[in-house]
Chains A and B, each alone.
Chain A
Amino acid sequence: MASASIEEKIERGAGLATADGGEPKAEYGFLEEVRSIPGGEGVDLCIQCGTCTGSCPNANEMDHTPRELIAMIRAGMRDQVLSSNSMWYCASCYLCTVRCPRGVKYTDLMYVLKNLAWQSKMAKRGNRPLAMARSFVDVLNRFGRVHEATMLGVYYFRTNPLTALPLAPIGIGLLTHGRLPLFPHRIKNQAQLQTIVRKAQELGGISQ
């Protein structure tokens, strides 16, 4: 690549030189990668108006605001995007999607980024929304239904079990009122669900 002509660089969408004057890195393919995944097409439409961030209930918790995240994807900042916590703080409230003046389905894009982050092992382990998402999926795979007690057990075990202590009185209250079943309900033919999940994983539709 050292002798890539200008035409080749433009062809790759990599007209931008890196700060150290070296060859553009393969990272400039990140935009291409995101837009090629269903749900990721919206990155091309954005006009950077910030309606998404303004509407976002969790924007203040994010490393990068939703609008900024799109700008970073376009700039090819793969590592910074995929290692950020932004997509994990998306509450899927869809307010950005409803309001976006360009029709970007931002919530879908957030799922694309979650998948990419997980697949490329860039999601940070200490990230609590991620731990919650994983616990949810694990429990779902296991029982076919969500079981709150198991899910929270797994979640707090994954993060910091001590932080569960203040919640104990609420848990006991829920238990005694029959709002928190001790044992999980399982669906019938659970093996079939797992076959479906396995197949989807093989096809790359679900992160492993």
Chain B
Amino acid sequence: MEDNNGKGKTRERIGVYVCHCGSNIAGVVDCPAVAEYARSLPDVVLARDYKYMCSDPGQTLIKDDIKEHGLTRVVVASCSPRMHEPTFRRACEQAGLNAYLFEMANIREHCSWVTDDKAKATEKAKALVSAAVRRVVWQQPLQTREVPVTPAAMVIGGGVAGIQAALEIADAGFKVYMVERDPSIGGHMAQLDKTFPTLDCSACILTPKMVSVSQHPNIELLAYSEVVDVQGYVGNFKVKVKKKARYVDEEKCRGCGICEEKCPGRVPSEFEEGLGKRKAIYRPFPQAVPNIPVLDRDNCLYFQRGRCRVCERFCDSNAIDYEQEDRFVDLDVGAIVLATGYDLFDASADMRYGYRRLDNVISALEFERMCNASGPTAGRILMANGKEPKSVAIIHCVGSRDTNYHQYCSRVCCMYSMKFAHLVKDRVGHDTKVFEFYTDLRAFGKGYEEFYNRVQEEGVTFVRGRPAEVTDVPETIDEVGKLIVQAENTLVSRQVRIPVDMVVLSGGLEPRSDTAEVARMFNISRSQDGFFLERHPKLDPVASMTDGVFVAGCCQGPKDIPDTVAQAAAAAVRAVGLMNKGKIQVEAATSMVQAELCSGCRVCNKLCPYSAITFDEEKKVSVINDAVCKGCGVVAAACPSDAIVSRHFTDAQILAEIEGVLV
């Protein structure tokens, strides 16, 4: 090795720190050996291994060494930069070293966590440290920049999570755009009859909040709308929203409902889970917010057959507008809260329980609507023949805790199943037999175990066993004309067949069917179960991996109403905090055009996903706007003249790094 480092200038003074991370790294990687190896690398003046580099003493070690030994570069071999890069950069800065003269080698996620082979893991750790040491020599000091944050937030989804988040942000004094796909906000909670464990009427506690949303001066409600495009970055998002044509002029409509009354079209209501009918021009439910009907084009006589126009004739305010078209609005927001909710597991996928095959096997939401006083049966629990059931079986864990469908526990089904048991006893009569088929009862929340005990006292029969099937084929005379639930009563080790009149399937919660597309649009990840991935499962359950995009409610994972509301409020606080600061620091690692090399071909202008590149007509070269550039590197790779440099990812840095791995 030559005496200089190949850069033809004075040698750097590099400090290398190998973290044990308790036993996370040291259990597999021989950390002292890696430090020993690091000492042999060019320019390294000291190398240490330490139990927890991220701890206060660990950081102090770095700071003291920078001052005492005059370090000009720092390498820490520890976890992922996602975890602690900011920590160590800050430590360097506090000791007067530019943050970009620090480099991190990931010997945990990329090394010790993925193997048990100690020898090979140590070798790899050495290679990664060698790469970081060679790279850091080429790193240059960069200055972080501050950009302003747009003081407005967007909440996507108008269920209880979105409502809570929007109200919190609006109350804090910031503008909120709420985007809801359906004609009305309210979400699944608006469909529920009672809520466990207090048995509050769901609509009674939700509708005041819905009204607050519509009346809040800081909230702009975009109902019957969808986000179609998201550009920009934290603090400066540009969101394109499609306002689907309602065929009703929102300014003119007074919500009198005459159009709905007179409309001759009748189709199954989505809100009533198909149990009831709605008109072709409709509000999903009487307390809908906004209180403006939507014309369902696919079922409208005028749109389908060219004649009718009854709604138009009866509307006093001339609000019906058959010519209305989808409109697009562009909105600038600083923060986004995703609260897109969940889909109920479609129990017909699990054939053995007979959903949509056998009469009187119903889903959880169908049961909710049946129980609701304003629902299709006016609150009466009825079988297909219009009579009340004398016995009801409630099956837990349908589609949950089952590797054939969803491995996770949906968390709410045990509790809502017991609520159902109570409602049967309450509505049909105390002598109605109710069987709860459960695998494990999870009554984990405040007042939940007490609710379980209350339902026990009401005479509900708990059978511990997951039913194998529901059939209408009788084996004995008692079973004729009944639905038979066959299961093992595991507590007495007997196979049982229990004939009942009605079976309610307590389906689990699953990710929305379009979660993948939404995740792609907002550039966020999903966890293995398909829900949106939070930044940290314990310490940051409301942020996503994308700065400025927060998650709330069941889109992040199944949860009950109290947990949803708590998460939504937390997400709101994070959004408010971001907007309150007014400015944020953004990466200094942007790209720049070397004007003398630029041929003015303008290839980069269209490629930039952030519209950060403009063309200087006078000099005939492209120019990158530093404030908008995110340093993604796309144009650096695409430039045919190699005129674009990606700061902190220069060719020299990357080649040195590769060389380091291969040595």
In the complex, the chain A residue whose C-beta lies closest to that of B400 is A101
In the complex, the chain B residue whose C-beta lies closest to that of A56 is B495
B95 to chain A, nearest CB (A): 46
Contact check: which of A67, A95, A103 meets B403 at CB < 8 Å? A103
With contact pairs A51-B466, A99-B468 given, residues A67 and B401 touching in the complex (Cβ less than 8 Å): no
Contact check: which of A54, A60, A95 meets B466 at CB < 8 Å? A54
Residue picked from B397, B401, B465, most chain A C-beta under 10 Å: B465
Across the interface, which residues of B come within 8 angstroms of A68, CB to CB? 490, 493
Residue contact B495 to A60, C-beta cutoff 8 Å: yes
Contact check: which of A49, A65, A95, A103 meets B495 at CB < 8 Å? A65
Across the interface, which residues of A come within 8 angstroms of B495, CB to CB? 53-54, 56, 59-60, 65
Contact check: which of A49, A55, A95, A101 meets B490 at CB < 8 Å? A49
Contact check: which of B404, B439, B466, B488 meets A65 at CB < 8 Å? B488
In the complex, the chain A residue whose C-beta lies closest to that of B496 is A54
Interface string of B432-446 (1 = CB under 8 A from A): 000000011000000
B486 to chain A, nearest CB (A): 5
Contact check: which of A49, A65, A103 meets B493 at CB < 8 Å? A65
Interface string of B396-407 (1 = CB under 8 A from A): 010001111000
* Interface set, chain A 7-52, CB cutoff 8 A to B: 47-52
Contact check: which of B401, B402, B488 meets A50 at CB < 8 Å? B488
In the complex, the chain A residue whose C-beta lies closest to that of B467 is A54
A143 to chain B, nearest CB (A): 38
With contact pairs A50-B488, A54-B487, A101-B404 given, residues A67 and B493 touching in the complex (Cβ less than 8 Å): yes
* Interface set, chain A 100-119, CB cutoff 8 A to B: 101-103
**Considering the chains assembled together, what is the distance between the CA atoms of A65 and B493 in angstroms?**
6
Residue contact A55 to B469, C-beta cutoff 8 Å: yes
B10 to chain A, nearest CB (A): 58
**Considering the chains assembled together, what is the distance between the CA atoms of A180 and B315 in angstroms?**
84
In the complex, the chain A residue whose C-beta lies closest to that of B350 is A99
**Considering the chains assembled together, what is the distance between the CA atoms of A59 and B397 in angstroms?**
23
Residue contact A101 to B468, C-beta cutoff 8 Å: no
Contact check: which of B469, B486, B488 meets A67 at CB < 8 Å? B488
Across the interface, which residues of B come within 8 angstroms of A47, CB to CB? 401, 439-440
A64 contacts the other chain (CB 8 A): yes
Across the interface, which residues of B come within 8 angstroms of A60, CB to CB? 495
In the complex, the chain A residue whose C-beta lies closest to that of B489 is A50
B435 to chain A, nearest CB (A): 14
With contact pairs A49-B439, A49-B490, A59-B488 given, residues A54 and B403 touching in the complex (Cβ less than 8 Å): no
A201 to chain B, nearest CB (A): 35
Across the interface, which residues of A come within 8 angstroms of B439, CB to CB? 47-50
B494 contacts the other chain (CB 8 A): yes
* Interface set, chain B 410-426, CB cutoff 8 A to A: none
Interface string of A164-187 (1 = CB under 8 A from B): 000000000000000000000000
B interface, by DSSP: helix, strand, loop or mixed? Answer: loop
Across the interface, which residues of A come within 8 angstroms of B606, CB to CB? none
Across the interface, which residues of A come within 8 angstroms of B493, CB to CB? 53, 64-65, 67-68
Across the interface, which residues of A come within 8 angstroms of B401, CB to CB? 47, 49, 101
In the complex, the chain B residue whose C-beta lies closest to that of A59 is B495
B454 contacts the other chain (CB 8 A): no
With contact pairs A65-B494, A99-B352, A99-B468 given, residues A54 and B404 touching in the complex (Cβ less than 8 Å): no
Residue contact A50 to B487, C-beta cutoff 8 Å: yes
Contact check: which of A48, A55, A102 meets B468 at CB < 8 Å? A55
**Considering the chains assembled together, what is the distance between the CA atoms of A56 and B493 in angstroms?**
13
What is the size, in residues, of chain B's interface with A at 8 Å between Cβ atoms?
Answer: 22
* Interface set, chain A 60-89, CB cutoff 8 A to B: 60, 64-65, 67-68
**Considering the chains assembled together, what is the distance between the CA atoms of A52 and B488 in angstroms?**
8
Residue contact B466 to A49, C-beta cutoff 8 Å: yes
Interface string of B474-488 (1 = CB under 8 A from A): 000000000000111
Residue contact A50 to B469, C-beta cutoff 8 Å: no
Residue contact B402 to A54, C-beta cutoff 8 Å: no
A96 to chain B, nearest CB (A): 9
In the complex, the chain A residue whose C-beta lies closest to that of B464 is A50
In the complex, the chain A residue whose C-beta lies closest to that of B490 is A50
Across the interface, which residues of B come within 8 angstroms of A56, CB to CB? 495
**Considering the chains assembled together, what is the distance between the CA atoms of A24 and B545 in angstroms?**
51
**Considering the chains assembled together, what is the distance between the CA atoms of A83 and B622 in angstroms?**
84
In the complex, the chain B residue whose C-beta lies closest to that of A50 is B488
Across the interface, which residues of A come within 8 angstroms of B488, CB to CB? 50-54, 59, 65, 67
**Considering the chains assembled together, what is the distance between the CA atoms of A47 and B403 in angstroms?**
12
With contact pairs A49-B439, A99-B352, A102-B403 given, residues A54 and B494 touching in the complex (Cβ less than 8 Å): no
Residue contact B468 to A51, C-beta cutoff 8 Å: yes
Across the interface, which residues of B come within 8 angstroms of A49, CB to CB? 397, 401, 439, 465-466, 490
Across the interface, which residues of B come within 8 angstroms of A55, CB to CB? 468-469, 486
Residue picked from B352, B466, B469, B487, most chain A C-beta under 10 Å: B466
Across the interface, which residues of B come within 8 angstroms of A53, CB to CB? 465, 468, 487-488, 490, 493, 495
**Considering the chains assembled together, what is the distance between the CA atoms of A15 and B401 in angstroms?**
29
Contact check: which of B403, B487, B489, B490 meets A48 at CB < 8 Å? B490
* New A-B contacts (7) at CB < 8 Å, excluding given A47-B439, A49-B465, A95-B468: A49-B401, A49-B439, A50-B487, A50-B490, A64-B493, A68-B490, A99-B468
A residues with a Cβ closer than 8 A to B are 47-56, 59-60, 64-65, 67-68, 95, 99, 101-103
- For this complex, 20 residue pairs linking A to B, each with C-beta atoms less than 8 Å apart, are A47-B401, A47-B439, A49-B439, A50-B439, A53-B495, A54-B467, A54-B468, A54-B469, A59-B495, A60-B495, A65-B490, A65-B493, A65-B494, A65-B495, A67-B488, A67-B493, A99-B468, A101-B403, A101-B404, A102-B403
The 7 closest A-B pairs by CB, nearest first: A54-B468, A50-B488, A53-B488, A101-B402, A50-B465, A49-B466, A55-B468
